């Protein structure tokens, strides 16, 4: 198995074996990232493909100041966000005041929910909620960073996150109640 530096250098030299190795090493994990931002498998595959084209065309900019996987993941996220922007996914924006009281004090746990079920629930969220939830809860971005990335206000980011939490809590409760019956 090639080490990271050798792999990057091979990709910089447009070595097809290095490119294939890099793709095979990261495609599975990056596909999971793409799925979190898209509505279906086909869109996720499109985003993955577009993002890997960017990875290979921009590999010369990789400076080894972070892990290669983190650099690739950032490209995947940015490509997914660009995909959402093209679809005008943020037309259902609301302001934080609209959802100030929606999230209950008691947090709902996700025990008993399998990853695929949870992923399906997140994918059913409205696109704005889905993206903000992924960026905040999973990727660890702050609302001001999300606002800048998505071209929305910080208040909209917060309200979309609150709405996402509310919708997910309802879906989890529904699933748990169905499973208990």
Closest to 62 (Cα-Cα) out of 21, 8, 4, 24: 8
Burial 153-171 (b: 16+ CB within 10 A, else e): eebbbbbbbbbbbbbbbeb
pLDDT tens for 85-128 read 777 644 444 444 443 344 333 333 445 677 778 888 888 899 88
In a domain, 73, yes or no: yes
Q: Hey, how many other C-beta atoms are within 10 angstroms of the C-beta on 148?
A: 13
Interatomic CA distance for residues 46 and 93, integer angstroms: 25
Which CATH number characterizes residue 101's domain? 1.10.10.10
Determine the pLDDT at residue 112.
62
Same-domain status, 76 and 114: no
In a domain, 91, yes or no: no
pLDDT tens for 65-82 read 999 999 999 999 999 998
Domain count, the chain: 2
Percent of the chain with pLDDT over 70: 84
Interatomic CA distance for residues 132 and 163, integer angstroms: 10
- Domain boundary among the residues 52, 86, 120 is at 86
Same-domain status, 11 and 80: yes
Q: Which two tokens stand for residue 20?
A: 């294939």
In a domain, 32, yes or no: yes
Domain interval for residue 46: 4-86
Same-domain status, 103 and 43: no
- Domain boundary among the residues 20, 54, 86 is at 86
3-state secondary structure of 177: helix
Same-domain status, 100 and 166: yes
Closest to 36 (Cα-Cα) out of 108, 116, 153: 116
Same-domain status, 68 and 101: no
More reliable by pLDDT, 100 or 23: 23
Same-domain status, 101 and 160: yes
Q: Over the chain, what is the mean pLDDT? A: 84
Locate the DSSP E strands across 110-153: none
Interatomic CA distance for residues 139 and 77, integer angstroms: 9
Same-domain status, 74 and 116: no
Same-domain status, 12 and 50: yes
Which CATH number characterizes residue 77's domain? 1.10.1740.10
- Domain boundary among the residues 60, 86, 112 is at 86
Determine the pLDDT at residue 116.
79
In a domain, 23, yes or no: yes
Determine the pLDDT at residue 34.
94
3-state secondary structure of 142: coil
3-state secondary structure of 32: helix
């Amino acid at each position: 198995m090639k080490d990271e530096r050798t792999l990057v250098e091979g990709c910089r030299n447009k070595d097809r074996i290095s490119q294939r190795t890099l793709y095979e090493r990261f495609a599975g994990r990056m596909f999971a990232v793409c799925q979190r931002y898209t509505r279906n498998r086909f869109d996720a595959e499109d985003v993955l493909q577009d993002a890997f084209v960017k990875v290979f065309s921009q590999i010369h900019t990789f400076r080894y100041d972070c892990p290669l996987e983190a650099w690739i993941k950032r490209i995947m996220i940015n490509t997914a966000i660009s995909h959402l922007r093209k679809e005008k996914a943020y037309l259902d924006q609301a302001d934080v005041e609209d959802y100030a009281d929606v999230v209950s004090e008691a947090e709902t746990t996700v025990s008993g929910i399998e990853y695929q079920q949870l992923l399906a629930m997140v994918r059913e969220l409205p696109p704005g909620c889905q993206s903000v939830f992924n960026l905040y809860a999973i990727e660890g971005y702050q609302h001001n960073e999300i606002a800048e990335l998505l071209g929305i206000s910080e208040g909209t980011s917060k309200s979309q996150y609150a709405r996402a939490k509310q919708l997910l809590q309802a879906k989890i409760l529904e699933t748990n109640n169905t499973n208990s019956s």
